[in-house]
């Protein structure tokens, strides 16, 4: 590598790590990939499979010698060997996504059953319509629109099926239960007058006298029945 080449390459800070974005110059194209000077002790390599997502027959289809490129660090070997990629890496690997994670994302598609949200993973996650609000949502577009940037909570991750279940509702405060107001019944009955109170007392006294008389009559009747029964019983004997 010439000194001029090293000066033209964008210098990089030491301590590179995976997914770091770097700039460099292609110094060689081979059948296996491209060699790039990124200002480190050793040049980095972009394998032909990492030049783009679609298949590549020749490196020169994508990059050429002397061309400036931006790439991401894909792997750093123990011997200092650096492998790059031109394919933008995922923000979130499957191993990074866990239940209860709070993520930021963008709504990319609406369906009758919910909304798909791009969160930087291999696939977008799904917010089911029942997880959009504490209130009833009839259709997804009542709650979100395509292009909305929202926060979501991870409810579940199925790495085998590559499915991510998300919720907007889980990050919203639950509404307080409505308290029914009970109207106090007001007694509008006017207070009785002195005359009415005296009349009521007289009625109550008369009623008690009647009850007392009835009890006496019943006692007399019971006594008479008892006497007749004893009398008839002695005659028959």
Report the C-alpha gap between 140 and 155 in whole angstroms.
18
Domains of the chain by start residue, with CATH? 3-85 (2.40.50.140), 94-171 (2.40.50.140)
Query: Quick one: which H or E segment has residue 157?
Result: strand 149-158
Range in 14-23, 140-149, 162-171, 226-235 with the lowest mean pLDDT:
226-235
Torsion on CA atoms 136, 141, 147, 149, rounded to nearest 10 = -10
- Return mean pLDDT, the chain: 84
Which of 164-168, 176-180, 207-211, 233-237 is most confident?
164-168
What is the rounded average pLDDT of the residues 190-208? Answer: 74
Burial of 35 (0-12, 13-18, 19+ CB in 10 A): buried
Tell me what pLDDT residue 223 has: 62
Tell me what pLDDT residue 176 has: 80
Task: Give the model's confidence band at 13: pLDDT under 50 very low, under 70 low, under 90 confident, else very high.
Answer: very low
- Reported as a single tens digit per residue, the pLDDT across 94-145 is 999 999 999 999 999 999 999 999 999 999 999 999 999 999 999 999 999 9
Q: What are the residues whose beta carbons fall under 8 Å from the beta carbon of 93, sequence distance 6 or more?
A: 121
- Reported as a single tens digit per residue, the pLDDT across 23-57 is 999 999 999 999 999 999 899 999 999 999 999 99
Q: Which residues pair with 25 in a beta bridge?
A: 37, 68
Give the sign of the dihedral formed by CA 166, CA 171, CA 175, CA 176: positive
Tell me what pLDDT residue 4 has: 41
Task: Give the model's confidence band at 221: pLDDT under 50 very low, under 70 low, under 90 confident, else very high.
Answer: low
Tell me what pLDDT residue 116 has: 97
In the chain, the percentage of residues whose pLDDT exceeds 90 is 60
Range in 51-55, 70-74, 138-142, 187-191 with the lowest mean pLDDT:
187-191
Tell me what pLDDT residue 214 has: 64
Tell me what pLDDT residue 229 has: 60
In the chain, the percentage of residues whose pLDDT exceeds 70 is 77
Report the C-alpha gap between 114 and 168 in whole angstroms.
11
Q: Are strands 163-167 and 125-128 parallel, antiparallel or unpaired?
A: parallel
């Amino acid at each position: 590598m010439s000194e001029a080449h090293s000066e033209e390459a964008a210098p990089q800070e030491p301590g590179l790590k995976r997914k770091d974005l770097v700039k460099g110059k292609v110094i060689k194209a081979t059948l296996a990939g491209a060699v790039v000077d990124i200002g480190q002790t050793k040049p980095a390599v972009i394998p032909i499979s990492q030049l783009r997502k679609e298949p590549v027959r020749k490196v020169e289809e994508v990059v050429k010698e002397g061309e400036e490129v931006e790439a991401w660090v894909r792997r750093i070997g123990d011997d200092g060997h650096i492998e790059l990629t031109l394919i933008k890496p995922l923000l979130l690997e499957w191993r990074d996504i866990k239940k209860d994670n709070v993520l930021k994302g963008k709504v990319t598609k609406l369906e009758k059953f919910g909304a798909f949200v791009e969160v930087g993973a291999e696939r977008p996650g799904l917010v089911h319509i029942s997880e959009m609000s504490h209130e009833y949502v009839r259709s997804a577009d009542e709650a979100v629109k395509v292009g909305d940037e929202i926060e979501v909570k991870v409810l579940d991750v199925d790495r085998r099926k590559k499915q991510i279940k998300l919720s907007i509702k889980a990050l919203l405060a639950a509404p307080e239960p409505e308290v029914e107001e009970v109207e106090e019944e007001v007694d509008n009955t006017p207070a009785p007058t002195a005359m009415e109170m005296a009349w009521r007392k007289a009625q109550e006294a008369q009623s008690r006298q009647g009850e007392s008389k009835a009890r006496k009559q019943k006692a007399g009747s019971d006594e008479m029945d008892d006497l007749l029964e004893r009398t008839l019983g002695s005659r028959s004997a």
